[in-house]
């Protein structure tokens, strides 16, 4: 009896679904017949009558389109899996459904299909066509099959549509900007998204006008406007589009004010906004000011608005007043929590793939207006338990550790957009590559400055790093200290930094250690990288990456450093590869030649890899969205790390694989599986024996790796 009750309870919890009201028809399906050129989901988004929601795999355009927002003809391959159990049933309302039939024809007209019409509708059960309520005579039967006792009936609706032929754009004429320079004229012309020979679409027409207005404001014409004229010949199915640009006077900035700052320093906000009275007005400068002010960190909201001045006759005077409306946030923030880190480790200068995984607690204190001026003080401590392998198999052993970080950051240092920072990091615990215990003490002072709306970022810093080995073993590296400068140049032309679909990204990092110190080196380290992204059909993206690295060591302390350290440089800054953001056919740091004969262990994930002096990496990935939050990927990675003074491009070390992504507010959660291709490892030779076999249930295992982390690979 108890088992039966448990089964019944589980069934109730599993179903968990809403029921159809007793006198209503629950809409299960709405099917559009005859839609050949346009996307049914784009039409469905504009209707009030909706079918019951389902979990859907949709390869193509957005799984959740918005009404009136392009694209309307996106290619889509979709599969309905099951109904969303806890979503209620939408019910039929005849008056609403009749208006939806009018909306369908109006929606088609807005897409340029002026002859489109709804020719018929079909209801199953047919009784719903006569009345949207289930009427049962006393003692009689319902005109449909109920879903259950005291429930209504499930309804399927078929809507037959004749699309007809669309009205095509015959010509597009933009006027009013003939006196402009050719470059500015081209910007206006490129803002028009309508294309000759394509269907005329009202939404794209209005979006083109909005884009022209933005270009006018970017060219200093804050009062500029654009009007349009459309001539449609329905018999010839042709549309002639005319757009007239009204520039008005070129504008300059007038009064610049700050409101709502309270006790926060308004002068600092004005300095960081970097807007000056008398400068030429540009829309991008306003947007850049808003980003820079919000980046101060102590403000809950920032809204920078521009208002053109007008005279008594409402004519534009050519002066634009700017108001920076802010709302202060919390000055002091603190918190405690727990987390997991896997696959990568970030020091003060580098973020690299690594073999370690840990479970940690953390405590955080942050003051966002420390001693005024929006100076920020942040203190974070992470006691952690580090697993000896990347799969969290604590049965193989674990090591305790702790990481303390302190950061002081000051905006508007020396000039409005330069930020200075002093950072301190002490990491006690296992080395991320070889798991011996050590102290790693880093101090860093840096300056950073963005340019061109944040597309270009320059960073320069001075660093000191003391590395003290606790576990004494001749096979471990020796302790060292190093002082070095580092610089980075980042050019980000991507459309989205978290999940890019188009554009390019370039960065080059450099380190120089000029000082001759005890237990140290003199070296130069250079690491350029380029990434590219191209949109493909089905809303998919093709991404590629290529990077190189070189370490040039000029001198070293031969009396105090171990032999491997003398040849390869500091343990923290050697060139390594393999892992979730580099080469996914290897676990973190394991691409390249294995360790020496006296290494700790050359078996599987415990193998030692000391890094190298030359590195190259390449990758290509096809990302395909399946739902709004879920995506798949296919990829190939290539690369090599070696200890010589030349790059080994014949060591291609090719890996192919697949992965899954789930979108979250902090970036995609990612699971990737990479498999080494046996014949594509070393051209004319045998690969080093440092690959780990995954999927051991397959005979002999499969050489490769898998990675679970947050964020795209590149």
Determine the pLDDT at residue 167: 94
Closest by alpha carbon to 403, among 445, 360, 433, 444? 360
CATH of the domain at 203: 3.10.20.310
Determine the pLDDT at residue 603: 39
Of 128, 143, 162, the domain-final residue: 162
Residues 60 and 89 in one domain: yes
Place of tokens 């020496």: 596
Q: Domain for residue 374, yes or no?
A: yes
Say whether 186 sits in a helix, a strand or coil: helix
Q: Residue 251: enclosing H or E segment and its boundaries?
A: none
Write out the residue range of the structural domain in which residue 701 sits. Answer: 332-710
Residues 470 and 519 in one domain: yes
Q: 401 pairs with which residues across the strands?
A: 384
Which pTM was predicted?
Answer: 0.79
- Distance CA(90)–CA(47), nearest Å, equals 12
Determine the pLDDT at residue 1: 43
Report how many domains make up the chain.
Answer: 4
Residues 682 and 573 in one domain: yes
Residues 92 and 184 in one domain: no
Residues 324 and 336 in one domain: no
Place of tokens 């992204």: 533
- The full length of the chain comes to 714
DSSP string, 425-477: EEEEEE-TTT--EEEEEEEEEEEEEEETTTTEEEEEEEEEEEEEE-S--TTSP
Residues 191 and 87 in one domain: no
Output DSSP code: residue 90.
Answer: P
Residues 443 and 528 in one domain: yes
Q: 319 pairs with which residues across the strands?
A: 252
Of 328, 358, 384, the domain-final residue: 328
Place of tokens 């004519």: 315
Output DSSP code: residue 660.
Answer: E
Determine the pLDDT at residue 14: 39
CATH of the domain at 348: 2.40.160.50
Token representation of residue 479: 């302790």
Residues 377 and 521 in one domain: yes
- Distance CA(351)–CA(345), nearest Å, equals 6
Residues 388 and 491 in one domain: yes
Q: Domain for residue 7, yes or no?
A: no
Residues 306 and 241 in one domain: no
Burial of 415 (0-12, 13-18, 19+ CB in 10 A): exposed
- Distance CA(87)–CA(16), nearest Å, equals 9
Determine the pLDDT at residue 648: 93
Residues 580 and 562 in one domain: yes
- Distance CA(192)–CA(285), nearest Å, equals 23
E strand residue ranges, 9-84: 25-33, 54-60, 76-83
Strand 437-451 versus strand 419-430 pairing type = antiparallel
Q: Domain for residue 10, yes or no?
A: no
Cβ-Cβ contacts under 8 Å for 131 (sequence gap 6 or more): 94
- Distance CA(191)–CA(172), nearest Å, equals 12
The upper half-sphere exposure of residue 456, i.e. CA atoms within 13 Å in the direction of its Cβ, equals 3
The string of pLDDT tens digits covering residues 615-644 is 999 999 999 888 778 889 999 999 999 988
Determine the pLDDT at residue 88: 78
Q: Domain for residue 11, yes or no?
A: no
Of 227, 246, 265, the domain-final residue: 246
The string of pLDDT tens digits covering residues 516-562 is 777 789 999 999 999 999 999 878 899 999 999 999 999 988 888 88
Say whether 126 sits in a helix, a strand or coil: helix
Report CA 390 to chain centroid distance, whole Å: 25
Cβ-Cβ contacts under 8 Å for 269 (sequence gap 6 or more): 258, 261, 293, 296, 324, 326
Closest by alpha carbon to 325, among 281, 293, 283? 293
DSSP string, 208-223: HHHHHHHHHHHTT-TT
Q: Domain for residue 3, yes or no?
A: no
Residues of the chain under the 50 pLDDT cut: 1-16, 597-607
Residues 354 and 486 in one domain: yes
Q: Domain for residue 5, yes or no?
A: no
């Amino acid at each position: 009896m108890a088992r039966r009750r448990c089964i019944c309870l589980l069934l109730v919890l599993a179903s968990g679904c809403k029921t159809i009201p007793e006198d209503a028809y629950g809409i299960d399906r709405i099917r559009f017949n005859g839609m050949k050129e346009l996307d049914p989901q784009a039409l469905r988004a504009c209707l009030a009558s909706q079918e019951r929601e389902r979990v859907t795999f949709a390869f193509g355009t957005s799984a959740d389109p918005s009404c009136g927002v392009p694209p309307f003809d996106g290619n889509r391959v979709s599969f309905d899996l099951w109904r969303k159990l806890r979503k209620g049933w939408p019910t039929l309302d005849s008056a609403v459904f009749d208006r939806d039939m009018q909306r369908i024809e109006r929606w088609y007209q807005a897409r340029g299909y002026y002859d489109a019409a709804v020719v018929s509708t079909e209801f199953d059960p047919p009784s719903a066509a006569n009345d949207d309520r289930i009427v049962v005579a006393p003692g009689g039967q319902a005109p449909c099959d109920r879903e259950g006792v005291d429930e209504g009936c499930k309804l399927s609706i078929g809507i037959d549509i004749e699309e007809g032929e669309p009205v095509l754009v015959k010509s597009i004429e933009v006027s009013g900007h003939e006196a402009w320079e050719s470059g500015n004229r081209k910007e206006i012309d490129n803002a028009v998204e309508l294309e000759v020979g394509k269907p005329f679409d009202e939404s794209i027409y209005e979006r083109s006008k909005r884009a022209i207005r933005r270009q006018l404001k970017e060219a200093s014409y804050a009062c500029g406007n654009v009007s349009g004229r459309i001539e449609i010949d329905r018999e010839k199915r042709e549309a002639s589009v005319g757009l007239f640009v009204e520039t008005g006077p070129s504008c300059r900035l007038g009064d610049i004010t700050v409101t709502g700052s309270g006790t926060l320093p308004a002068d600092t906000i004005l300095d960081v906004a970097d807007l000056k009275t008398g400068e030429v007005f540009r829309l991008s400068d306003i947007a850049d000011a808003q980003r820079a002010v919000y980046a101060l960190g102590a403000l809950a909201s920032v809204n920078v608005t521009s208002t053109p001045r007008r005279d008594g006759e409402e004519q534009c005077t050519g002066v634009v007043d700017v108001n920076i409306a802010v709302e202060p946030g919390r000055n002091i923030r603190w918190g405690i929590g727990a987390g997991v880190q896997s696959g990568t480790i970030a020091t003060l200068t580098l973020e690299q793939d690594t073999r370690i995984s840990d479970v940690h607690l953390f405590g955080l204190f942050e003051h966002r207006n420390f001693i005024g001026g929006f100076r920020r003080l942040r203190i974070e401590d992470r006691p952690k338990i580090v697993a000896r392998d990347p799969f969290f198999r604590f049965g193989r052993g674990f090591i305790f550790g702790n990481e303390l970080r302190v950061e002081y950051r000051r905006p508007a240092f020396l000039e409005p957009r330069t930020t200075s920072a002093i950072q301190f990091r002490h990491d006690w615990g296992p080395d991320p590559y070889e798991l011996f215990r050590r102290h790693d003490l880093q101090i860093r002072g840096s300056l950073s400055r963005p340019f061109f709306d944040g597309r270009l970022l320059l960073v320069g810093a001075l660093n000191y790093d003391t590395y003290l080995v606790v576990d004494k073993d001749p096979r471990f590296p020796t302790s060292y200290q190093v002082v070095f400068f580092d610089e980075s140049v980042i050019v980000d032309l991507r459309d989205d930094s978290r999940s890019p679909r188009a554009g390019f990204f370039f960065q080059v990092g450099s380190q120089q250690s000029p000082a001759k110190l005890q237990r140290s080196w003199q070296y130069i380290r250079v690491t350029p990288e380029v990434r590219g992204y191209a949109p493909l059909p089905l809303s998919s993206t093709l991404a590629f990456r290529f990077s190189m690295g070189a370490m040039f060591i000029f001198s070293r302390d031969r009396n105090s450093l171990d032999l491997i350290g003398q040849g390869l440089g500091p343990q923290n800054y050697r060139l390594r590869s393999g892992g979730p953001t580099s080469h996914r056919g290897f676990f973190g740091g394991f691409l390249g030649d294995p360790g020496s004969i006296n290494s700790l262990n050359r078996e599987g994930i415990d193998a030692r890899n000391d890094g190298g002096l030359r590195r190259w990496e390449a990758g290509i990935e096809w990302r395909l969205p399946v739902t709004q939050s879920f995506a798949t990927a296919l990829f190939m990675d290539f690369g090599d790390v070696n200890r010589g003074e030349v790059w080994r491009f014949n060591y291609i070390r090719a890996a192919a694989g697949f992965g899954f992504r789930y979108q979250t507010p902090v970036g995609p959660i990612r699971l990737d599986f990479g498999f080494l291709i046996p014949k594509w490892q070393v051209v004319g030779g045998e690969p080093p024996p440092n690959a780990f076999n995954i999927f051991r249930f397959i005979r002999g295992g499969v050489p490769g790796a898998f990675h679970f982390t947050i964020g795209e690979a590149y």
